[in-house]
Chains A and B, each alone.
Chain A
Amino acid sequence: MEKNKYKSMVDRHTPKEDVLYNAIIAFITGGIMGIIGQGLIDFYSYYLTIPTKEATVCMLVTLIFLSCLFTSLGFFDKWVNFAKCGLIIPITGFAHATMSAALEYRKEGLVTGIGANMLKLSGAVVIFGVVSAWTFSLLRTLLGVI
């Protein structure tokens, strides 16, 4: 009884997120990121005549560069707070996590600060990506789907 009462009190006082509004904002910002990505690929492949495969890499590096620069200039955090998953799920979120960790731990020194903590947030992505990629590609080779 006491537990249920406490739970209902906690539920009443946790700030309510407007789920629908957040979802629509994430949809629109994420979609705009997709259009920017496609636009950059077209720009690099048509105007600079880079092969499509390298144009993809150039596009990713451009987005990473912009998000690192905007994070260090200070206003990308506000954009992320506004768009939430619309900017976290695209590759900008990876760069943002790396950059903000590097900025935050800079005062603790080059090696023990930046070096040890830079991948604090984004390391999970790399580690789970590598582990799952190895597992799934081994699975695929064993299945003989190739």
Chain B
Amino acid sequence: MIYLNAFLFAGLVCMIGQLILDNTKLTPGHITVIFVVLGAFLDVFDIYDKLILWAGGGALVPITSFGHMLTHGAIMGYQTDGFMGLLVGTFDLTSAGICAAIILAFYLSLVFKPRD
């Protein structure tokens, strides 16, 4: 059942993005930024946590979960460290993804040659 929810939720998010891309003059960069900010906003009232419980991986794969994890890390940092925690905790949950992307991109770009 959670697989159906994952399919529906991730598909719906991607379809909304595609509709925005086709009907306006925004670039893919704008759209990913819109979805990150939206994900960060949905975490303010714990809405995104409920979506993750409902859709599982379907809610974790889209870029909205990136914004959600940034906000979530900042709030968790506040709960442990106070106001400095807002700065300390921001990257707690997302650092794995960002570091993996940067490190892999660096080494793979040394190994492979660009093909148009």
Contacts and interface: CB of A to CB of B under 8 A. Distances in A.
Interface of A: 17, 19, 22-41, 56-57, 59-61, 63-65, 68-69, 72-74, 84-86, 88-91, 93-95, 98-99, 101-104, 106, 114, 118-119, 121-122, 124-126, 128-130, 132-134, 136-141, 145-146
Contact of A29 (B14, B44, B65, B78): B14
A-B pairs, top 7 by smallest CB distance, nearest first, are A30-B14, A34-B10, A38-B57, A37-B57, A31-B11, A34-B58, A133-B70
Interface of B: 2-3, 6-15, 17-19, 21-23, 28-29, 31-33, 35-37, 40-41, 43-45, 55-63, 65-67, 70-71, 73-75, 78-79, 83, 86-87, 90, 93-94, 96-98, 100-102, 104-106, 108-115
Given A31-B7, A84-B21, A139-B44, A98 B62 contact: no
A91 B110 CA distance: 23
Contacts of B105: 68, 95, 98-99, 101-102, 118
Q: Tell me the interface secondary structure of chain A in the complex.
A: helix
28 contacts: A25-B18, A34-B55, A37-B56, A38-B57, A57-B96, A60-B96, A64-B97, A65-B100, A85-B31, A88-B32, A90-B10, A94-B32, A99-B108, A106-B114, A124-B29, A125-B36, A128-B33, A129-B70, A130-B90, A132-B41, A132-B70, A132-B71, A133-B71, A137-B71, A137-B74, A140-B44, A140-B75, A141-B83
A132 B43 CA distance: 11
Given A114-B106, A137-B78, A63 B61 contact: yes
B97 to A, nearest CB: 5
Nearest to A122: B101
A91 B7 contact: no
A85 B18 contact: yes
A61 B115 CA distance: 24
A7 to B, nearest CB: 14
A23 B36 CA distance: 20
A23 B63 contact: no
Contacts of B3: 35, 38-39
Contact of A34 (B57, B66, B109, B115): B57
Given A99-B109, A134-B86, A145-B44, A22 B32 contact: no
